Amino acid sequence: MLELRRLRLLHALAGYGTVNAAAEALHLTGPAVSQQLATLEREVGIPLVRKQGRRLTLTDAGRVLVAHTNVLLDQLAAAEADLLALRTEIAGTVRIGAFASATATLVATAWRSVAAEHGERLVLRVAGMEPEESLSALARGEIELALAHFYDLLPCALPPACERFDLLTDPVVVALPDKDAADHGGRPVDLASLGDRAWLSVPSDTSCHEMLQRACGVAGFVPRVIAQIGDYAAVLALIAAGAGVTLLPRLGAQHVPSGVALLPLARPINRHIFAVTRHRGDRHPAVSTVLEHLDRAARDLTPTPVAESAEAPHTA
């Protein structure tokens, strides 16, 4: 008989790649994980993992067993969710993985309203994660809610056995110095007109950077990126100094410095923000409540892609 406890270990190893990382995630010691994996291999009578440098990778048999384990864990999570749905008390801890601009807006607003309505009975725990990280953490069972996004030009695939809840459509805007905005007359910007400008971007391993590259490519040019900075506020500060221009989602520009204007695109691009739970995870009363508060926050925060300058109010 295969034990679910040992199958969880193999599942964790598949996700983390090393015994130490899997042990830390499961709150076990490395030797304990190695011992249980060895026992599991004896039970099935075939190797499940192999060494590849400092990491362990799954054999074909290991991949087959992990695929079946995914189904078992999803079914177990659904059973737990159905049982929890019978509870009337809204209490517990909900762990959320969220990217920076969602944390500063949606999560912060929801946190305030959750605290006001439920006090210490409902506790939120938030970890800063890019969408790829939060979706992986959700699949591993490390969090109950992932806040993720995709751009029109960059579709996003969800992990198996997950459910998506759309929250907000966030328009992409052009950020440029006030003088350049005046030259455009405050009208929507054709990206082709900025082909000879210096561009600023967030790091190349982010979807925002890839969106910028693809949008400029569609407009017929390769952007000349002179700086890559992992913080929208710093990018906007450099634009205020006249360093260049950029594209960014509207919620990423909560505080627009003096000398910077935001203009809409002539060919609109949107970032779609959504929450993700594991299958039937929204049946958990606490998770369902947090989703409701996030949805309420999204309605309050719906951004408007209008021209802005330092003299105009900066609303989101």
DSSP secondary structure string, the chain?
A: ---HHHHHHHHHHHHHSSHHHHHHHHT--HHHHHHHHHHHHHHHTS--EEEETTEEEE-HHHHHHHHHHHHHHHHHHHHHHHHHHT-----EEEEEEE-HHHIIIIIHHHHHHHHHHHGGGEEEEEEE--HHHHHHHHHTTS-SEEEEEEETTB--PPPTTEEEEEEEEEEEEEEEEHHHHHHTTTPPBPGGGGTTSEEEES-TTSHHHHHHHHHHHHTT---EEEEE-S-HHHHHHHHHTTS-BEEEEGGG-SSPPTTEEEEEBSS--EEEEEEEEETTGGGSHHHHHHHHHHHHHHHHH------B-TTS----
**Among 82-91, 156-165, 291-300, the least confident range:** 82-91
Q: Which part of the chain has CATH 1.10.10.10?
A: 4-85
Please give the pLDDT value at position 116. 96
Q: What mean pLDDT is predicted for residues 100-105?
A: 94
- pLDDT score at 96: 98
- Say how far residue 49 (Cα) sits from the centre of its chain: 30
CATH number of 171-268: 3.40.190.10
- pLDDT given for residue 316 in this prediction: 31
Q: How confident is the model at residue 303 (pLDDT cuts 50, 70, 90)?
A: low
Look up the pTM and report it.
0.74
What average pLDDT does this structure show over 40-68? 88
Q: Is the pLDDT of residue 314 over 80?
A: no
Instruction: Give yes or no for residue 309 having a pLDDT over 70.
Output: no
Q: Above 70 in pLDDT, residue 315?
A: no
CATH 3.40.190.10 domain extents, the chain? 92-168+271-301, 171-268
What pLDDT is stored for residue 2 in this prediction?
82
Model confidence at 307: pLDDT above 60: no
Q: Is domain 92-168+271-301 in CATH 3.40.190.10, yes or no?
A: yes
pLDDT digits (tens, 9 = 90+) for 170-211: 999 999 998 887 777 778 999 999 999 999 999 998 999 999
Q: pLDDT tens digit string along 118-157?
A: 999 999 999 999 999 999 899 888 899 999 999 998 888 8
Indicate the CATH number of 4-85 among 1.10.10.10, 3.40.50.2300, 3.40.50.720, 3.40.250.10. Answer: 1.10.10.10
Give the per-residue pLDDT at 312: 36
From the number of C-beta atoms within 10 Å of its C-beta (0-12, 13-18, 19+), residue 196 rates as exposed
- 47 vs 170: CA distance, rounded Å: 48
The tens digit of pLDDT for each residue in 259-283 reads: 999 999 999 999 999 999 988 888 8
More confident residue, 158 or 89: 158
Q: Which residues contact 42 (CB under 8 A, 6 or more apart)?
A: none
Rounded mean pLDDT of 92-107? 95
pLDDT higher at 36 or 310: 36
Lowest mean pLDDT among 12-21, 77-86, 226-235, 290-299: 77-86
Please check the confidence at residue 226 and state whether its pLDDT lies above 70: yes
